Amino acid sequence: MLDMNRLNVFIQVAATQSCSEAAKRLHLSQPTVSKHIQNLEAELNVKLFERDGAHLHITNAGMTLLPWARKMIRQSTQVQEMMQGMQDSIVGQLRIACTTTAGKYVLPHLAARFRQQYPGVQIFIQPCVRQDMASRLLAEDADLGVVSSEVKENDLECQYFFTDHISFIVPEKHPLSRRDSIEPAELLDAPIILREPASGTRQVLQSELAKHDISFDEMNVLMEVGNAEAIVSAVAGGVGTSFVSRIASAYARVWGCVVEVDVDGLNLERRICIARRKLSHPNLVRDAFWAFIHAPENKDILSLPEA
């Protein structure tokens, strides 16, 4: 039977390409790390690394072993967590992949409150692109996924998380800042900063503008930026105007750096969902959080996107 400690050492050496760096990460001596690798190679009767001067290079055999080693370590951790959970104690790790700007604001508040209830849980919120969400959940690289649309995958299930509200913001001294609302056609004259094409915010905006026969090709698009916070900063600096999640612009609006202007006839809302794998081993931490998000006491957190 393969030794989990040796596999963990192998993973760290593969990640750092150095026994000394792996030793620092693992708080072991370098000779101990080297011995673990030698013993694992002897046990498997293969060469896992080749040395080139001061550097190590993983072999084809090592590359083949690496994903299996990671899976075995992950499953070993999951078994320990499951056994601990059966003692009526919710403990372990929770990995949440998140694709949305609003989710990045809501999740830390919710995670902090969850930890107050379950202090034995470690929570990791990981950035993710929407195209990779399903594969990460199915590969169990993440326990939960927060995404701006339902994941269409038979082996995954989704539930509604919260509603994200998107608004049009302009610089403080922009001519439109003195208006309560504008017509969609007036957007054609406003220099605008757009999110990247894969962004959920952009897709909602594109759909709503199409109802008024407006396309991005007709608009004065200054640039595309893949980060809502950077867009808010640019608008506050007078670079242009934009559409962003209300929660991303909340502080800038409070400080008076940007002004929100209603656009008549645009329904800029999107349902944020949370997803998990349907068929998997019992995961008490994941399932506890899945139920926790809609506990009545968390209503204040889930209303943050309306700020």
pLDDT at residue 290, as a whole number: 94
Kindly tell me if the per-residue pLDDT of 157 is higher than 90. Answer: yes
% of the chain exceeding 70 in pLDDT: 96
The tens digit of pLDDT for each residue in 144-153 reads: 999 988 888 8
Kindly tell me if the per-residue pLDDT of 165 is higher than 70. Answer: yes
Q: pLDDT band at 83, cuts 50/70/90?
A: low
Kindly tell me if the per-residue pLDDT of 84 is higher than 70. Answer: no
Kindly tell me if the per-residue pLDDT of 87 is higher than 60. Answer: no
Kindly tell me if the per-residue pLDDT of 299 is higher than 60. Answer: yes
Question: Which of 69, 84, 99 marks a domain boundary?
Answer: 84
Same domain, 240 and 170: yes
Kindly tell me if the per-residue pLDDT of 2 is higher than 60. Answer: yes
Kindly tell me if the per-residue pLDDT of 86 is higher than 70. Answer: no
Q: At what angle do helices 30-44 and 4-16 cross, to 10 degrees?
A: 110
Q: What's the whole-number mean pLDDT along residues 210-234?
A: 96
Q: What's the whole-number mean pLDDT along residues 273-290?
A: 87
Residues 301 and 126: beta-carbon distance below 8 Å: no
Distance CA 270, CA 202 (A): 11
Kindly tell me if the per-residue pLDDT of 140 is higher than 90. Answer: no
Based on the structure, what is the number of domains in the chain? Answer: 3
Same domain, 105 and 66: no
Question: Phi and psi dihedrals of 79, rounded to 5?
Answer: -65, -45
The tens digit of pLDDT for each residue in 229-278 reads: 999 999 999 999 999 999 999 999 999 999 999 999 999 999 999 999 98
Same domain, 206 and 251: yes
pLDDT at residue 125, as a whole number: 95
Same domain, 133 and 252: no
Domain span at residue 203 reads 165-269
Same domain, 38 and 122: no
User: Mean pLDDT, the chain, as a whole number?
Assistant: 90
Which residues, 6+ apart, have CB-to-CB distance to 171 below 8 Å? 177, 235, 236, 237, 238, 239, 241, 257, 258, 259
What would the two tokens of residue 41 be?
């190679």
Same domain, 19 and 57: yes
Kindly tell me if the per-residue pLDDT of 112 is higher than 90. Answer: yes
Residues 240 and 224: beta-carbon distance below 8 Å: no
Same domain, 155 and 275: yes
Q: What's the whole-number mean pLDDT along residues 272-296?
A: 88
Q: Can you give the CATH number for the domain in which 216 is found? A: 3.40.190.10
The tens digit of pLDDT for each residue in 25-64 reads: 888 898 898 898 899 889 899 999 988 776 788 899 989 9
